[in-house]
Structure formats: C-alpha cells, structure tokens
Chains A and B, each alone.
Chain A
C-alpha cells in the first residue's frame, strides 16, 4: 500500500498544522458561543460596492480580466494610494491585482526566495508569513517583539537579525494579532538600518492600513523615497472595506519585482475575480465615508475592550490599530491555550491563544473586536468573572 504521507513535499510537511485546530473544533461544536476570535469584519460590505459587483454580472463581465487586472481597477487603486499615502505608482507595470492580500505574500515568497535564503519575520504576526516562506524553501528568521516596546520592531533587533543571506523583511503594521501601529516616526530607525543594507527587500503588509486610531495618515516604509524602490506594498480591501469574501487585494512596487510576481500569478491564478475588480473600482474611489464610519465604530469598541481588560485586571498595551487587543495573561498560572480553552468551556466566549501567532505570543490572548457592542460588553463581563475565579482558585 502506498504511503501517501511520504509523498507530501518536505516543505509542506515541515509546516505544522494550525496549533488551534482542536480549539476551533471545540468552539464550532458548542452552542451560544460569543466569538471574539474572528479575524474579519462583522460589517457587511457597503451596499454600493456590492451593487457594483452585481452590476458587472448584469452587464456580462463574466470573463477573465487581463492577468494583472482591469486597467480601470488598477487605476482606481493607484489613485487611492496616491490620495491616501501620497505615493505615486504606475498602474501599468507597478500594480498587480491579487486574490486577497494572502496571494501577495505567497507571490513575494515564490518570486524572491532561493532555497536557503533568509526572511526576517516580526512576531507575533499573521500566521501566513512563516508558512509562505517555508513553502518556498526559505529560512524564517524570527524577531520577537515585546509588550514593553508596544510590539513595535526595534532597530537593534532588526540589525541583529540581518545576515548576508537575508533576502527580505516582512513587516505587518497595523498588526494582527497585537493591534500595534508603527508611525512614520517609529519607522525612521528601521529605515536607517535598511539604508545600511541596500540589498534587503521589504514586503510591507498593510491590509489594516485604514484601521489606525492614532493617525489619519497610513504609515509605510514605502513613503520614504530612499526606500520606495525596494518596498513591495501588499494591500487589499478585505479588512478596511469589509470585503473578505470578495478575495481581492493588490501588490504595488518596482516593475522588476511586480513583473515576476505577475508571471507566477498568470500561471497559477490567471486573474483575480472580475466581479470583485468592479467592486474595487467603487470601493477605492467612492467609499471613504463608509470606511470612516466603520473605523469610528471599531474605535468605540476598542475603548470598551480596553476598559473591559482593565476591569478584568489584565495587563494590555493600548492597541492603536486593526481590530485586536492582545492582553497578557501572565501571572494567572495558565498557558494561553489552557486559558482560552477554559474560558470557552466555562464562559462560552471564544478568543485565540497568543502562541498561534508565534512563540512570543505565549502568555497573551488575541481578542477581536470585530463583533457587536452587545457581544463585546457581555464577553468582557464574563472575562472579569473568569479572571476573578482564576485568582480565587475556582478554575
């Protein structure tokens, strides 16, 4: 009998299955669970965006688009980035429309990595960073950020991680799972380190760029003119525009890097969904007001979450972006997985153990506030009860 397991490529086999699979199964079997574990907006996509997608179907746009995307969709994207970031990209050659931001991460890894190349990953972070590097036979070099630094990347840690094998750095701010933001001021020391290492590429994941509660202006290493030519911006509409199911994102950068990424995309994906590209034209051009309304609502919930964590006596740095809080549970005597499992079974609230996002996430839990205010308030009351029971030795 053939051993099918042995046929799986070693690069895929080397990536462990999701650490929270068991937890996921448990949560999905229980009834009446309040989930603050979800990494996607609870808002339905604004109607005008949905309507634009529907109209494209009515008008018969049901075919492949050009590989890199429809020209007017790419133009809408580069216009949006010019308007929001003040950065110029040529929609013809420096822009590729992808199937979500995730495809961009995969394309970057496959386009850039030779076996053995090192990629610097700043943890705790989105789980796909490490996996895409491993799938492409790269070597992840992990930098662990710290709560006392507000989970920002520190220049000295970056300097220490760089070797002559470093191919690129992946940076994801505003961050999942921490909610950390790096302002342009915070990014200056990082730019200075990178200027000393002119061969290192930057992959800047900016999916949460519009969900920033401390600054109206998105921050990005691509905004430094001296770095722009080696930064690939990965961005999309899933988080800021509540468009996760549309599976649409984009990458922007120098032609020399966008071109090989487009080559892979052309062979493996062909083109991003046409309907979603029509939706993007509407989203990028006409929806600033709806985006602001969602951001304001997240901001209100963020403050309710912070108060809830304080009431529960959990230490948490103030998250400034995305829709996550990442409090510490240190000192309660439970691992992050045990904490989440017991919280789920005893209080019926699902949150995610921090170690799912890298070892440095241990002793933390990720709480998503992409949930209704009512659910957030109830969940925070239950969290306060739960931590009190732990402290009194009941749990």
Chain B
C-alpha cells in the first residue's frame, strides 16, 4: 500500500523522478507506483509538473507583478465567476482568493512594465465587479516554490567522520 502523502512529497521535490526510482525509494513495485500516479492524475490531485526557472539570468526583460484586486461578489456566484475569467489570461500564472484587505491575488508575467500596466487598466480594472487594483512588481526573487535562487550552501563536512 503506497502512502499518497509520501509519494506526492517525492514528486513535489523532484517532478522529473522516474517511476522506478520512486518504487525503490518507497520499497514497492513500479506497477503500483504508476497506477497510483495515474489515479492521482485522474482525481486531479496531481495537476501538472512545472520547472522553476531563474528568468532573471536569461531573460531579464521578463517582469512579474502581483496584482491585488478588490471586487464586489456577484449574486449566486460569489467571487468565483470573476476569478475564473481573470484566470483565463495565459499570462496570469496564479489566481488566489485571499483573506484580508483585498479579494483576489494574481501573479502576472509579461515583457515590460508597460505591458503589465496595460493589462491592469484595460482588462482587470474594467472587468465588471472590480472595485480597485494595486500592482506590485517583483524586483528580485530569493526563493520560490521552496527553491533558493542564490544557494550558497556547501558541504563542509570532513571527508571521514566516525
């Protein structure tokens, strides 16, 4: 019997790991692992695999903004309808409903500050139900999705320690 949480943590840490490596680490068979991964995909528990890329190094023009959106909930729909609409834009990589001073938080990626500004005032601010927006640009990433962008850890252990 595979422990789902343990399996998911392994995949979350290394999405590229092979089923056979997972099977060894969990002490189980490859077939069981593949069946379990398929089930987790079918149930939309595993939704996809992404790479963490330091775009600042290779594509410094790329700009990421966090956009706070205050909205009026719609009758029978709450926040869902507008959240779904804003999520449809390809360059919106995250859309969360938040507690606190605003309602939705979007992560938006584009080629320039101007492009992002255009998205905010042409698309977001004009959407029905949107009361206000606040846009924050990411200046530098130190850690994202558990990965350090400037990892300075080194193995300083002695070669042999009893």
Contact = CB atoms under 8 A, between A and B. Distances in A.
Interface string B117-139: 00000000000000000000000
Contacts of B160: 20, 23-24, 27-28, 35, 37-38, 350, 352
Given A126-B162, A300-B26, A307-B24, 4 more contacts: A20-B160, A28-B159, A303-B26, A304-B24
Interface stretch (A39-47, A92-100, A329-337): A39-47
A342 to B, nearest CB: 16
Contact of B155 (A24, A27, A42, A126): A42
B162 A300 contact: no
Interface of A: 18, 20, 23-24, 27-28, 33, 35, 37-40, 42, 44, 126-127, 176, 296, 300-301, 303-304, 307, 350, 352, 356-357
A182 B89 CA distance: 59
B159 A24 contact: yes
B159 A352 contact: no
Contact of B161 (A23, A33, A38, A357): A38
Nearest to B27: A303
Interface residues of B, number: 16
Nearest to B153: A44
Given A303-B24, A303-B26, A303-B27, A18 B162 contact: yes
B25 interface: yes
Interface in B132-162: 153, 155, 157-162
B114 interface: no
B159 A27 contact: yes
Given A126-B162, A127-B162, A356-B162, A300 B157 contact: no
Contacts of A126: 162
Contacts of A296: 6, 9
A304 B162 contact: no
A296 B9 CA distance: 10
A35 B159 contact: yes
B10 interface: yes
A175 B131 CA distance: 64
Nearest to B17: A373
17 contacts: A20-B162, A23-B160, A24-B160, A28-B159, A38-B159, A38-B160, A38-B161, A40-B157, A40-B161, A42-B157, A296-B9, A301-B25, A303-B27, A304-B21, A304-B25, A307-B24, A357-B162
Nearest to A24: B160
Nearest to B9: A296
Interface of B: 6, 9-10, 21, 24-27, 153, 155, 157-162
A39 B162 contact: yes
Nearest to A37: B160
A143 B27 CA distance: 33
A63 B25 CA distance: 46
A42 B160 CA distance: 13
Contact of B157 (A24, A27, A33, A38): A38
A382 to B, nearest CB: 17
A42 B159 CA distance: 12
Nearest to B5: A296
A39 B158 CA distance: 10
Contacts of A33: 159
Contact of A39 (B24, B153, B161): B161
A303 B161 CA distance: 23
Instruction: Tell which of A35, A127, A176 has the most Cβ of chain B within 10 Å.
Output: A35
Contacts of B157: 35, 38, 40, 42
Contacts of A24: 159-160
Given A303-B24, A303-B26, A350 B161 contact: no
A264 B9 CA distance: 47
Contact of A303 (B9, B25, B159): B25
Interface centre among B10, B27, B160 (most CB of A within 10 A): B160
A368 B10 CA distance: 21
A38 B158 CA distance: 7
A325 to B, nearest CB: 14
Contacts of B158: 28, 38
A33 B21 CA distance: 24
Nearest to B156: A245
B80 to A, nearest CB: 33
A85 to B, nearest CB: 25
A303 B6 CA distance: 14
Given A38-B157, A44-B153, A296-B9, A352 B26 contact: no
Contacts of B161: 37-40
A27 to B, nearest CB: 5
B12 to A, nearest CB: 12
B100 to A, nearest CB: 25
Contacts of B26: 300, 303
